Amino acid sequence: MAGSPSRRGGGGGGGGGGKNKAGKAGGVGGPGGAKNAPGSPQVPTQVEAIRAGVDQGVDVEDAMLAMTQHEALMDGVVKIFCTHTEPNFSLPWQRKRQYQSTSTGFVIEKKRILTNAHAVEFHTQVKVKRRGSDTKYVANVLAIGTECDLALLEVEDAEFWKGLPSIQLGPLPRLQDNVVVIGYPIGGDTISVTSGVVSRIEVTSYVHGSSELLGVQIDAAINSGNSGGPSFYGDGTCAGVAFQSLKSDDAENIGYIIPTPIVNHFIQDYEANGRFTGFPTLGIEWQKMESPALREAMGMKHAQKGVLVRRIEPTGSTARSAGKLTPPVDISSGTAVLLEFDGIKIANDGTVPFRSGERIAFSYLVSKKMVGETAKLKLLLGGDEQEASAGKGGGGSKKRAERTVDVTLRCARRVVPPHSSRYMSVSRGPSYLIVAGLVFTVATVPYLKSEYGKEYDYEAPVKLLDRLLHGMADAEDQQLVVLAHVLACPACFGYEEIVNTAVHSFDGKPLRNLKQLRDGVMQSKQKWLTFGLEYQQTIVLSREAAMSNTEEVLTMHAIPSAMSADLMDDANGDAAAAPLDNGTNPASGSGKQPKRARKK
């Protein structure tokens, strides 16, 4: 939102060191840390801390037990070292220079490590180190849940697991619950402990995943490096996973943790499917119905409450399920009202009862479901009575009928994906196609960030942003193909200034995805290759010149292939994609063979 402060991924930090040889706590050091400098304030020993607790009315046995529990829990928190190699979305045949990061993770049951997805994004190597150890162990990434910003790791070396405790997941916290955040934030190399209280529980924007899921706000410090670290209750169970904080001049000490219901959903999804399949959505856009006039115009009774379904995704859960009913239910007219989800009434502001004295956005109920599960929607729809009422020329309220629809839930299919889960490993890069000097790729949020920076939502062309925010896919395989830029060559003379423009058609036929464009170019027998672009722009190339110039462009710019590995695999296995007779066609079976994209 314009003018709103941004949330950034991070983790909790603070200083808290272990004991030194003299038996006193060192500043930020770990075991064996430096002694306090002469004249500096003396840090109390464990015995002094316990005595202080007793003076404040805390039972000595409880104080000692809590201290022992937290010492044991710290052993289950590990430091993660990741080497990242990010694709270059602007030059999709390349990768950016690798970089390293550190973050936090913790051990859970079945010898697995839980951390944040952004901590291992685009990983080429992941290593972990136990508290108090000088040995790093190679870890494998089992699953990445970009939407919920969670990842699962495993370590094959049995030595790593010896004596390592697992941390148990606790229940969803309540307001004002005390929590302790443990991790490895910036400011030092050893483990750090901070504390705070739960200040808010609501559906929150997950910055990394561009999703809206249940989140918990705490007032403990959240700093870079503590990402993936656990937050604990007093009884030693885990309240959630640190993952982001609010950075603003108007806000202080606002951090967020991923609550255990979201963590459990991620783990159960992985265990059931062998991979993360995602959080389902209803596939609708809705509007609040707090206006009495709007409710009356929609034919709602005084006691009825709900939200107006203003748009429906053609490939979404609701559209697919409603279309299979007999007779089919049409909720695409913008007049359907969603009254209930799984028997729970939805208020006019889109909230449902949460806990005693609390309400929450009804999308929370949807996110609790697994992909493939069924939900019951109660809708207020029109019918014969509505048509009769409308036919009487009246401006009165419309008579409506309630209808229950069983919806099989599935993930959202967006025209401009907010993330590129397929690129989390380095085996493949973004999809691209090069025809002469024309570089085509697929619009994604990482691509927009690569082209326009972090402020892409202000700097990118309005038409691309409109597709990002409001675009709905008409087909499962629909993509927004863009002409990223034009590499200079004789065939593309005069088109060099066209950049980042959507491509709508090829040879007069509507374009659905990049694969269709590849097939069209490869199968074309026309003299001219004609590309229809946004703003009624047209690019026309000589087919013969385009094919001959393609190899020259690849050689000049050291590009390994005229198309990405995924398009090349499809072309090699798709008999329908018959190559041109010209031997220089990048996917032709005759003449010079195309170069296979390298794995980097």
- Which residues are catalytically annotated? 118, 149, 227
* 552 CB-contact burial (10 Å; exposed 0-12 / middle 13-18 / buried 19+): middle
Q: How far apart are CA 204 and CA 197, in angstroms?
A: 18
Structure tokens at 82: 């990741």
**514-523 and 565-573 are packed helices; what angle lies between their axes, rounded to 10 degrees?**
50
Strand-pair partners of 192: 183
Residues 6+ apart with CB under 8 A from 303: none
H or E element, residue 547: helix 543-556
The angle at the Cα of 479, spanning 478 to 482, to the nearest 5 degrees, equals 150
H or E element in which residue 449 lies: helix 445-452
16 close to 77: Cβ distance less than 8 angstroms: no
DSSP SS3 for 225: coil
Q: Is 523 helix (H, G, I), strand (E, B) or coil?
A: helix
| Torsion sign (Cα): 24, 102, 197, 240 | negative
Q: At what angle do helices 445-452 and 462-470 cross, to 10 degrees?
A: 150
Torsion angle of alpha carbons 521, 522, 528, 529, nearest 10°?
Answer: 10
What DSSP character marks residue 273? H
Please give the radius of gyration of the chain, using alpha carbons only, rounded to the nearest integer: 28
